[in-house]
Structure 1
Amino acid sequence: MNRRHILSGALALAAAATVLSGCGSEAERRTFPVEVTSTPMSGANERGWTVTVESAHLSVGPVRFFEGRALTAHRFDWYTLIGGTAHAHPGHYAPGDALAEVLTTHTVDLLTGATLGDASAVTGEYGSLELTLTAPTSTTDAQGVLGGHAMRVRGTARNAEGAERPFEATASLPKPIQGVRFEKSLGMEAGRVRIAVNLGTWLGRIDFATATDSDADGVYTFPADSQAQNALMRGVEDTTAYVVTWVEGAAQ
């Protein structure tokens, strides 16, 4: 059984429950809330820059959960040739059956956090999730805080030599982030899923000296071919930047 079906409503979920039951496990339909928050950056990054994040926004959704476990394997990364650090990459990831989904898209203020909604789900052995960081629309980002990008971070970076870079970083992803780890034997217990974005992983590889000259407001941006933008993209696409946990109990 290795179907990677995308669930789309109660009928598909009921079908998934039937299939799982036929494979020897008794699946039940259920829902659970999914929330998104962040973990602050602490200390200097690997290029010696200490970052104060002033705002961070992300366009999230859909989010889909699968039975397949996220495998990691270390492999050669050309980025190490220019002074970066090797990180874990997805191995031979097989998503398997879809077990839950939240289909809506929301713009999330990562510094305050938000609930995306309730996942339509079935009980079972969860192993991973797929996170879509989609381009926002005028409806999903009514305030325009993302400027049409999937993510946007503003802050100030400082290094040991006293250089200071007020910056604005943006990125848009061409495809969903697959194979984010979430291992849980889920029954009917009360609880919710929390997705915590590690801002230290997002910004941990960036040399802010490669940002452009500041604009009229004194804010630096990242040219498309710069080390800063390449490092930002690797941070945002890194599956380890998204720590997914099950929080027991009813929501407060």
Structure 2
Amino acid sequence: MKRMSLLPALLLLVLLASCGTGAQRRTFPVEMTLQPMTGPNERGWSVTPEALHVSVGPVRFYEGHVLLSRRAPRFDPFLLLGGTAWAHPGHYLPGDAMAEVLSTTVVDLLAASPTVLGEANAVTGDYGSMELTLPVPPATGDAVAPLGGHAVRVRGMATHTDGRRVRFDAALDLPKPIEGIRFERALAEEVGRVRITVDLNTWLGRIDFATASPADAEGVSTFPTGSQAMNALARGVEDTGAYVVTWVEGATQ
């Protein structure tokens, strides 16, 4: 992705201005990895992923802290399909910008080690939250090919506790960034990096794979628009609780 070379410098000027004269410029790497599923989801399905890709970036950090609510909105049509309430920020104001990774990276979440998303241009201070953008990749080529023109793509085998099996290929696009992800830390000049861990239990935890489409000639089902499977996947990916953000001490290996 092409950007003007002075953009990081302008960002830092904005960050320093918003955080006051006590803030110091710094950078830190941001990486992403996966927490695999540990058992059947709430519908009784265990999933063995065969491919799991997501387009990530920009990633933004703010000073505002998040008060999480487990209550669903007063009326949620998805609950009529058997969904459950999900974690979302309540009374959340992002506050001052603290750091930003501008680039977009296609992440293979099944990779053996975390994927570095980029170096955050940042300032020191008290961090409270993160905003995560999962966009349709702006470029073409081998790196983005696994996504098939989408922001998120999951392929694998789902097996129910009663023995039913569904081989699936599901893709998803998000209408807006995921706001209000918790990241609470006072950052000074210590060496380290931010790690974003995607919880696959949350991403796939609500899906009833029996609502996927009939299998095609190759035995693969998809998630039709408006189906319980597609709605549940969207809810899982949009759930702020699906992203555990931590500070890892030490230099990147």
TM-score of the aligned structures, taking structure 1 as reference length: 0.91
> Does the CA-based 8 Å contact 2:26-2:123 persist in structure 1?
yes
In structure 2, relative to structure 1, the CA distance for the partners of 1:140 and 1:130 (3 Å cut) is farther
Quick one: which amino acid aligns to residue 139 of structure 2?
S
In structure 2, relative to structure 1, the CA distance for the partners of 1:83 and 1:124 (3 Å cut) is same
- Residue 154 of structure 2 is matched in structure 1 by 153
Alpha-carbon separation, structure 2, partners of 1:236 and 1:96? 24
Count of residues in correspondence between the two structures? 243
Identity %: 62
- Residue 198 of structure 1 is matched in structure 2 by 199
- Residue 35 of structure 1 is matched in structure 2 by 31
The list of structure 1 runs, each at least 4 consecutive aligned residues, that deviate by more than 6 angstroms after superposition, is none
Indicate yes or no: 2:131 matched with 1:135.
Answer: no
Alpha-carbon separation, structure 2, partners of 1:199 and 1:156? 14
In structure 2, relative to structure 1, the CA distance for the partners of 1:96 and 1:140 (3 Å cut) is farther
Alpha-carbon separation, structure 2, partners of 1:165 and 1:221? 10
**What SS does structure 2 have at the residue aligned with 1:236?**
helix
RMSD, matched Cα: 1.7
**What SS does structure 2 have at the residue aligned with 1:9?**
helix
> Does the CA-based 8 Å contact 1:107-1:141 persist in structure 2?
no
In structure 2, relative to structure 1, the CA distance for the partners of 1:95 and 1:29 (3 Å cut) is same
Alpha-carbon separation, structure 1, partners of 2:133 and 2:207? 23
- Residue 74 of structure 1 is matched in structure 2 by 70
Post-superposition CA distance 1:157-200 (Å, at most 9, x none): 01122110011111000100000110010000000000111111
State how 1:1-252 maps to structure 2 within 5 Å: 8-22=7-21, 26-77=22-73, 78=76, 79-112=78-111, 113-139=114-140, 142-252=143-253
Alpha-carbon separation, structure 2, partners of 1:143 and 1:227? 27
> Does the CA-based 8 Å contact 1:101-1:121 persist in structure 2?
yes
Post-superposition CA distance 1:60-82 (Å, at most 9, x none): 00001000012212324533343
Alpha-carbon separation, structure 1, partners of 2:26 and 2:240? 27
Post-superposition CA distance 1:110-164 (Å, at most 9, x none): 1113101100000010000110000013347635100111000111001122110
Instruction: Structure 2: state its 5+ residue gaps.
Output: 1-6
Alpha-carbon deviation of 1:12? 3.2
- Residue 4 of structure 1 is matched in structure 2 by none
In structure 2, relative to structure 1, the CA distance for the partners of 1:202 and 1:141 (3 Å cut) is farther
Instruction: Structure 1: state its 5+ residue gaps.
Output: 1-7
- Residue 5 of structure 1 is matched in structure 2 by none
Alpha-carbon separation, structure 2, partners of 1:76 and 1:36? 28
Alpha-carbon deviation of 1:204? 0.3
**What SS does structure 1 have at the residue aligned with 2:39?**
coil
Alpha-carbon separation, structure 2, partners of 1:123 and 1:76? 35
In structure 2, relative to structure 1, the CA distance for the partners of 1:166 and 1:66 (3 Å cut) is same
